Chain A
Amino acid sequence: MRRRLPAALLGAGMALLLVAGPTLACGGLIGPNGAVNLLRTTTFAGYHDGVEHYVTAFQFQGGGGAFGSITPLPGVPSSVEKGGDWTLQRLIRETDPPVSRVSLDFLAAQSAGAEVLMQVRIDALDVTVLKGGAADVGQWASQHGFRLPPDAPEVLDFYAKRSPIFLAAVFDADAAQQRGQAIGDGTPVHITIPTPNPWVPIRILGLGKTADARVDADVYLLTDHQPALLPTPTGSNGMNLDNSEQASQSLLNDLRSDSGMGWVPTDGWLTKIAIDADAPQLSYDLAIDASGQGVPSWVQAGLEMPVQIKLVDQTTTIRALLAAILAIGVLILVLQLGRMAGPRMTNPA
């Protein structure tokens, strides 16, 4: 039996939703015309017992047709389900008491050559979890009528090299209307991902944005210990550490009482990171070491790529060959010159 938050709290959450703009959390939103237009987004990433719980919401913004988004994931989800009713709103209320902005959303894409790992229908959302490379994701998106923005090939490659798992969500606005969803109604999605260490995709937030566009987003983390983050939020790098403290019991109790949130521990550390950056500034992801060891991964942060065997291309081979021939030629000539310039043995007269 689902427990409910007091009506007052729920009302506060709904009010926040009603004033929220079109949003998407930690996913790249792709419209049929390639347009991307996001306002502020909110994402929650909780990590406990080796499992990352990712909660975000997809918000109906009116209109018709379909649109979708792409979210890279750190691993293969064990489940994708409808999220709780108030988790995100309750988090916002914890760190930004009665304010007027909210929300979130997310997800999306896949590809023709991609392996479909999971398909789930959540309200008007068609969610597909895919395993594949950037080309697969791009092909899938094209085949489903979406036009990826020009930066998509590079951004998707950035993720696929580290984790070839993507979550594609297609939001059917016509179905939403038929379901009676009103503009502003959100569909929360809860993704459960077993992973040694969590990370949150940040660079994807800039997908499709022009160089002068801004990215505003809130990322909430709930971990057993105070996490070590990479990059460290400094403000100048587009990330601000807005909150870092032991989570209150009232917050934990409220979160635990939401649907699907029974995993929330009795103790935890709440971190809130506000992203306020120019889109090109977001060239990284947020790596989290929640173990208490204080060593977040540079690879997970996207600051370095996994070690790979490099194939030498033809041009490189030709250059190396020419350089080797040149070096040998010079060596031979220098030796020859040395012999000519040195003392010569002559026969005595």
Chain B
Amino acid sequence: MSRNRARLALGAGLVALVLAAGAAAVALAGRPVATPATAITIEIKYSHFNPSAITVPVGVPVTITLVNDDPIDHEWIIGDDAIQQKHRTGTELLHPVRPTEQVIPALSTRVTTITFDHPAQWKYICHLPGHEAYGMVGVADIVR
């Protein structure tokens, strides 16, 4: 009798384990990983960033692939509030050599590598006219 109970308990434990593992696997397959990543792809579709939130580590190179699926140009400017404000009011049309300031022409892909030197919460925004107001804003958590 006690042997049967032990088997039952073992079976129930196995069921719980499988359920938990399965749920975790399904959950992981469906949402972005919140742990710091050193390789991230951000898709731009209908003038929105996807994902609109990323977590990246301090002190190591992070490669970001920007895929613009829209037939219009977009920007990806990452930085603190001061940087964003500068771009809101600025007149610079191109940002060709700065890893943190990318122009992604229509239906194209750009890859940039950035090493973040301190923890912060920055935003990435497209500053082409009307794009920020339309929702082209994302948040980057830079963590140790």
Contacts and interface: CB of A to CB of B under 8 A. Distances in A.
Interface of A: 33-35, 111, 134-139, 142, 147-154, 156-157, 208, 210, 315, 318-319, 322-323, 325-326, 329-330, 333-334, 336-337, 340-341
Q: Is the interface of A mostly helix, strand, loop or mixed?
A: helix
A153 B72 contact: yes
B15 A334 contact: yes
Contact of B130 (A34, A325, A326): A34
Given A137-B71, A138-B72, A150 B11 contact: no
**Top 7 closest pairs, chain A to chain B, by CB:** A138-B71, A326-B22, A150-B47, A150-B134, A154-B46, A135-B71, A153-B70
Nearest to A323: B26
Contacts of A34: 128-130
B4 to A, nearest CB: 6
B136 A150 contact: yes
Contacts of A341: 4, 8
Interface residues of B, number: 31
Given A150-B130, A333-B14, A340 B26 contact: no
Given A153-B47, A319-B26, A139 B8 contact: no
Interface of B: 4, 7-8, 11-12, 14-15, 18-19, 22, 25-26, 29-30, 45-47, 70-73, 106-107, 126, 128-131, 133-134, 136
B25 A322 contact: yes
A340 B8 contact: yes
B15 A330 contact: yes
Given A150-B72, A150-B136, A153-B72, A208 B46 contact: no
A337 B4 contact: no
Contacts of B47: 150-151, 153-154
Q: Is the interface of B mostly helix, strand, loop or mixed?
A: helix
A156 B46 CA distance: 10
A37 to B, nearest CB: 13
Contacts of A135: 71, 106-107
Contacts, number: 95
A297 to B, nearest CB: 24
A148 B131 CA distance: 11
A333 B10 CA distance: 11
Contacts of B71: 111, 134-139, 142, 148, 152-153, 156
Nearest to A344: B4
25 contacts: A34-B128, A135-B107, A138-B71, A139-B106, A148-B71, A149-B130, A150-B126, A150-B128, A152-B71, A153-B46, A153-B72, A154-B46, A210-B133, A322-B26, A322-B29, A323-B22, A323-B26, A326-B19, A326-B22, A329-B18, A333-B11, A333-B14, A337-B12, A340-B11, A341-B4
A208 B130 CA distance: 8
B138 to A, nearest CB: 15
Nearest to B15: A333
A33 B93 CA distance: 12
B131 A150 contact: yes
A142 B19 contact: no
Contacts of A153: 45-47, 70-72
A330 B18 contact: yes
Contact of A337 (B15, B46, B70): B15
Nearest to B29: A318
Of B18, B72, B106, B128, chain A has the most CB atoms within 10 Å of the CB of B72
Contacts of B126: 150
A73 B47 CA distance: 24
